[in-house]
Structure 1
């Protein structure tokens, strides 16, 4: 029996929904404002996971143009019934202040790899929707109800309503089946039927350091639900010594052999509790007690870094090459765009073969049409490198290497044009929405050669480099080390939900869509 090391999905992979179909395991995770929507991973052994599909690839399924930071796809739920895969998700349009505009949809596919259907609209009463397929053939939707009224508590409980597959809509009455415990902030409902009980798994305590997972049960799907008197099932709250923090928001899966596992989100903080990698996915082995409650197999309710795996042969997957030469007609699976699809109007891998061409669009503060391609940072020690051919004519045109959390927190090693210098290179840091230029003066560079850009991250410190030498390691440091802890959920004045991405971008604020051509991109994780 192998040991599983957590997190199983490193970097920004929150809100896992785990599913088994025969001997295949799948996990779907939230993607928020990053496109395409939802990421699904596959495993045979629960230890090794490989990306296989992003179901929401079309604007008809997911239109996020203008969505707020940390809006978009929240908490997908993946399920399977009678030869059909079901994916439920929320497209969050706004969530700051009293209100939340949260639209819930359902898409289906005969194969996990798609094609996935256009969406069926469900409701907008709250978020974290989940679909339960009962043994009698009926289907039930649960979701958090958001109660904006000040005399209430915002998280208004878990709603239950029947879904008619024939009519493709919700039918019948709506019932609030669970208000949660004294931990409060009850969300992320999933229903399971085991030995005659309906079990309701929820997240509580908010998605930060008080996060938790709580289990309740009832003989009837609409309640009343009694809470396990040893709740919560899982939490890291009050245990600063644990390597996995923020444990909560989970889902359950039963193996072929009748074993149970809980997939849940977690965070691995740097000093002062900053999780720059975002919220990640971990796995805990569980067991049922004689009186019908679930417990973590290793005892207690704290997440473990190592858990017992399945008694099956390990099936590892080949890792992606560290270098992407952009020599295929489509982007590799690790790349994501912001809010909009990667389409020929602003991105091409064929106009200049062997290069990724990005045509400059809106600024790094735009919630609409940014020309930006990035991948998750998945380790605390990484190197990233690219080479860009770019010929700006005005300060309004920029291109380069980006470390990006959202529109208000990022670091940008950029090539641009400045009066008196011509083509030059500098560093922009946007921190909590404030704009800073980190060099006293941009550095003049020759017009012709491609410029190679590199970044080295060691925990919370980022050091940037550049060189004009195309075939030699003659890197020049540019600027001082930058503290990048501001690119985390934890640094903002209000809660937020993503993680650090690394990539390439191009802006043309003049509207001319000037192109930048990137020859390659290297992402390399360093081992201690």
Structure 2
């Protein structure tokens, strides 16, 4: 049996893998999307299903005002004596010399929750990770950020003890590893194997020079000896590989005594553009006689097909393609931007069988947007919805959106024009440049319910609409969506394309839109 990479397609970066008995869990970053942290579960490392999110309350994660690609970075999942530990960073700012990176810890007796209120740890840098030593002591490592001019911003990996009794970090802070010549040292995880402490790090930056590096020491405080064959995993210099950007790894020993590493990857859809964002892949690993970790089969490149462990298969039911909005709460595949899905702006009960969105701020807002979206997880997919919306002003909009961040999106939206009344058109933002793509929006006066569809074929999307749910009409031409990627911007960013529904009311009166259903279907579509 083989595993096909990526195992977590679509925006699922910075994986942290954990085994508890015969269950396997991977936590991944969610950045500005709420609820915080995705946790997937598997019994065989082949099939993965999404569990309830751990950070579901504003008291655990308040991201209102967090900039694009801020929020939750690089969570770490661990387990000790019946307790699950989740460490995460809430990044408040990242532009310029400074980064405000607040690190927290939550715990739970059950991986499905409920999770505790957060314990504040530190703010010295990002990518925190908790290590439980054999003697019962607990240690936090994180990269340390140095904002000073002419200094290495990625200033090394710092170590400090955590006291579970005092619920705080204690003792001295020590910089245990300054990194290798690849630089940009981050993503630390500590492991213990035989007589060594192993420090796994991400280096080279999270783009096309990304890599996994390893070092080891006889003592937890170092000094750490660098693996002579570093990096142990990378795609750098290999444009022929399907899996690019390989780095930010986390390792696990299976209950069958086999070793695997999960790691970040990206798959370019066109040239260098990765519309699905940074994804999670897995590699089979083995130890050398002199106790260094290697990709099984030799070399240090990631493979699409990987040998599965000697574990019976545990297949899962595929998620439903259609959400009829007939449950009182959103399903786990849905996310909202920065804020919880509370009754002040969203309801599944005011009109049973419909998702009601009350319009709030614009697509440029980093505070309160009325948007509900899910990850795009295939290069070939369709999304469809049907809504009832009666705008009375040009500042009121609702519809179907492909969204990367406040700077880049494409939006098939219903609005109101003074001359033509209720209208349907396409608006787009590329690098923050707003545009209306039709010479004239389509008049849909008298259409009470309008169905909308997006058909994605790799780097293009074609929009459709139907005034009756049966007669589908093409609207506009096929549009490039390469700007919905990490790689399109003039600065580094970290998320991926979401497909969803939203409503705006820039007048402040909170005009609502009612959505009857949402379909997300992966298929080889034609544009």
Give the RMSD, CA atoms, in angstroms.
0.7
**Would you say the 8 A contact 2:159–2:174 is kept in 1?**
yes
Which residue does the alignment assign to 1:10?
A: 9
Answer yes or no: is 1:503 the counterpart of 2:489. Answer: no
1:247-262 aligned at under 5 Å gives the runs 247-262=246-261
Answer yes or no: is 1:525 the counterpart of 2:494. Answer: no
Q: Distance in 1 between matches of 2:446 and 2:173?
A: 65
Which residue does the alignment assign to 1:291?
A: 290
Which residue does the alignment assign to 2:487?
A: 490
Q: Distance in 1 between matches of 2:523 and 2:160?
A: 49
Deviation at 1:378, TM superposition (A): 0.2
Which residue does the alignment assign to 1:389?
A: 388
For these two proteins, the number of residue pairs brought into alignment is 525
- Gap regions ≥5 residues in structure 2: none
Deviation at 1:52, TM superposition (A): 1.1
TM-score normalised to structure 2 length:
0.99
Q: Distance in 1 between matches of 2:366 and 2:149?
A: 29
Q: Distance in 2 between matches of 1:53 and 1:352?
A: 25
**Would you say the 8 A contact 2:73–2:126 is kept in 1?**
yes
**Would you say the 8 A contact 1:79–1:87 is kept in 2?**
yes
Deviation at 1:136, TM superposition (A): 0.7
1:265-304 aligned at under 5 Å gives the runs 265-304=264-303
- Of the three residues 470, 474, 477, the one matched with 2:474 is 477
User: CA offsets, 1:181-231, max 9 Å, x none?
Assistant: 100000000000000100000000000000000010000101000101000
TM-score normalised to structure 1 length:
0.99
1:99-498 aligned at under 5 Å gives the runs 99-470=98-469, 472=470, 474-498=471-495
Deviation at 1:527, TM superposition (A): 3.9
Which residue does the alignment assign to 1:43?
A: 42
User: CA offsets, 1:131-190, max 9 Å, x none?
Assistant: 000001110000000001112110000000001111111111100000111000000000
User: CA offsets, 1:291-346, max 9 Å, x none?
Assistant: 01000002100001011111122111101111111111111111000000001110
Q: Distance in 1 between matches of 2:295 and 2:524?
A: 31
Q: Distance in 1 between matches of 2:101 and 2:317?
A: 38
**Would you say the 8 A contact 2:426–2:438 is kept in 1?**
yes
SS in 1 for 2:106: strand
**Would you say the 8 A contact 1:391–1:447 is kept in 2?**
no
Deviation at 1:442, TM superposition (A): 1.2
Q: Distance in 2 between matches of 1:216 and 1:193?
A: 12
Structure 1 segments of 4+ aligned residues over 3 angstroms from their partners: none
Q: Distance in 1 between matches of 2:482 and 2:329?
A: 33
SS in 1 for 2:51: strand
Deviation at 1:257, TM superposition (A): 2.0
Deviation at 1:467, TM superposition (A): 1.2
**Would you say the 8 A contact 2:389–2:448 is kept in 1?**
no
Which residue does the alignment assign to 1:87?
A: 86
Q: Distance in 2 between matches of 1:122 and 1:322?
A: 40
Deviation at 1:448, TM superposition (A): 4.1
